[in-house]
Amino acid sequence: MGSRRSFLQSCSCPLSLFVVVVALAAPSADGSRAARVPCYFIFGDSLYDSGNNNNLNTSVKVNYSPYGIDFPAGPTGRFSNGRTAADIIGETLGFKDFIPPFASNPDDRQILVGVNYASGSAGILVQSGKQGGDNVDLSKQLRNHKVTVSRIVKKLGSKKAAFEHLARKVALAGISNIGCTPSLIATVGTNGAPCVTSVNQLVAPFNIGLKSLISQLKSAHPDAKFGYLDTIRAGILASQVFAEFKVRTTPCCQVSTVTGLCLPNTVPCSQRQSYLFWDAFHPTELANRLGAPILLPVIQRIL
Ligand SMILES: *[C@@H]1O[C@H](CO)[C@@H](O)[C@H](O)[C@H]1NC(C)=O
């Protein structure tokens, strides 16, 4: 773990792609509801951020064009042209609206349905990603969720009612193969291999540890459900659709060599349906959709 951390700290990338937790609640007894579950809470980094960094003092925020080019209203703070994997999961679960970011101060009605706490450049460790400026690290995301839970208790009138609303279903995402991102391929080089093998080898032990942690959580909390989201397999599935190597390793937008993020107000590729990566780190909406068949069955199993 130490070597992985020092690697990420020494490279120019401000985005360390860390674990993502998706907490879902119990299925509603009320058959009239459209959504499969009453609520959906999202924790994570830039892969899931939907605007929490917009008002932070950081270079790792993307509330500018061409981000969000495939949303009718343009940029939202999502690190993609369109929807994130968290959005696609929400859409599949039947949520009609996007889960609002914590930073948008969602109202009482909204927090009953869910909150997104994810923050670009954030990691599990407080110091992770701080080279780009402020972020909301995982501990802070969990503290923010405590605020939400207190509000839900108040709104529903009792801890018991809140406990029933929030049942415990948690999907945890592993780290994806960061060595296959355009940023790492461009800065480190692959020596003829498709990806930077040394970087992917640093990712592997984290995911092994995460899977073992999930097993421990399952035995310690038999009243809860846990699932492992294999983002490496999702990435492989998505990349297989793109026959041409170039579009698997070239970002759709023009990126900054310092941050790997799209340069503000530049014109991105027009064929977003033929690119795997939107910027030097983050997948296009299409790539997120193509990888979803790996993630969704895991979510279905814990519902
Ligand atoms: C923003 O962060 C930079 C670099 O860390 C710091 O120099 C600057 O004072 C900060 N600005 C504000 C308004 O806090």
Q: Mark whether 279 is an active-site residue.
A: yes
Q: If you take atom 14 of ligand 1, which residue's CA is the nearest one? A: 57
CA 13 – ligand 1 centroid, Å: 19
| DSSP structural state of residue 146 | H
Quote the ligand 1 centre to 107 CA distance (angstroms).
30
Q: What is the pLDDT of residue 3?
A: 30
* Helical packing angle, 285-302 and 231-241, nearest 10°: 140
57 lines ligand 1 (CB under 6 A): yes
133 lines ligand 1 (CB under 6 A): yes
Sheet holding 20-24, edge to edge: 40-43, 20-24, 169-173, 225-229
Compute, in angstroms, the gap from residue 132 CA to the centroid of ligand 1: 11
Name the residue with the closest Cα to ligand 1, atom 11: 57
Closest-CA residue to 122 (of 105, 106, 147, 139)? 139
Q: Which of 45, 49, 137, 279 is catalytic?
A: 279
Query: How far does CA 231 lie from the centroid of its chain?
Result: 10
State pLDDT tens for residues 158-211.
999 999 999 999 999 999 999 999 999 999 999 999 999 999 999 999 999 999
Q: Write b or e for each residue in 147-179: b if 16 or more Cβ atoms lie within 10 A of its Cβ, otherwise e.
A: ebbebbbeebeeeeebeebbbebbbbbbbbbbb
What is the distance between the alpha carbons of residues 226 and 228, in angstroms, rounded to a whole number? 7
Alpha carbon distance 214, 216 (integer Å): 5
Segment among 28-37, 147-156, 240-249 with least mean pLDDT = 28-37
| pLDDT the model gives residue 36 | 82
- DSSP E strand boundaries for the chain: 20-24, 40-43, 169-173, 225-229
* Residue 107 a catalytic site member: no
Distance of CA 124 to the CA centre of its chain: 13
Among residues 45, 50, 145, 282, the one annotated as catalytic is 282
Question: Helices 85-93 & 285-302, crossing angle to 10 degrees?
Answer: 50
Please state the atom number of ligand 1 nearest to the C-alpha of residue 133. 5
How many CA atoms within 13 Å lie on the side-chain side of 19?
Answer: 23
Report pLDDT for 28: 56
Examine the residue annotation and report whether 12 is marked as an active-site residue of this protein.
no
Return the pLDDT at 24.
Answer: 73
- Cα of 240 from ligand 1 centre, angstroms: 43
pLDDT by residue (tens digit) across 47-98? 999 999 999 999 999 999 999 999 999 999 999 999 999 999 999 999 999 9
- 229 half-sphere exposure, CB direction, 13 A CA radius: 27
Among residues 16, 46, 121, 239, the one annotated as catalytic is 46
- Residue 248, pLDDT > 90, answer no
Measured by CA distance, the residue closest to atom 12 of ligand 1 is 57
DSSP string, 172-199: EEPP--GGGSHHHHHHH--TTSSS-HHH
Averaged pLDDT score across all residues of the chain: 90
Nearest-CA residue for ligand 1 atom 4 is: 133
Residue 4: which pLDDT band, with cuts at 50, 70 and 90? very low
Residue whose CA is at the smallest distance from ligand 1 atom 2: 57
Q: What is the pLDDT of residue 30?
A: 52
The sign of the CA dihedral 130, 136, 138, 140 is positive
User: 57 CA to middle of ligand 1, Å?
Assistant: 6
The CB density around residue 17, as the number of other CB atoms within 10 Å, is 24
pLDDT digits (tens, 9 = 90+) for 113-143: 999 999 999 999 999 999 999 999 999 999 9
Distance 26 CA to ligand 1 centre (A): 42
What percentage of the chain exceeds 70 in pLDDT? 87
- At residue 8 the predicted structure's pLDDT band, cuts being 50, 70 and 90, is very low
Average pLDDT value for residue range 218-227: 96
> Which residues are 41's β-sheet partners?
23
Is the pTM value of this prediction over 0.85?
Answer: yes
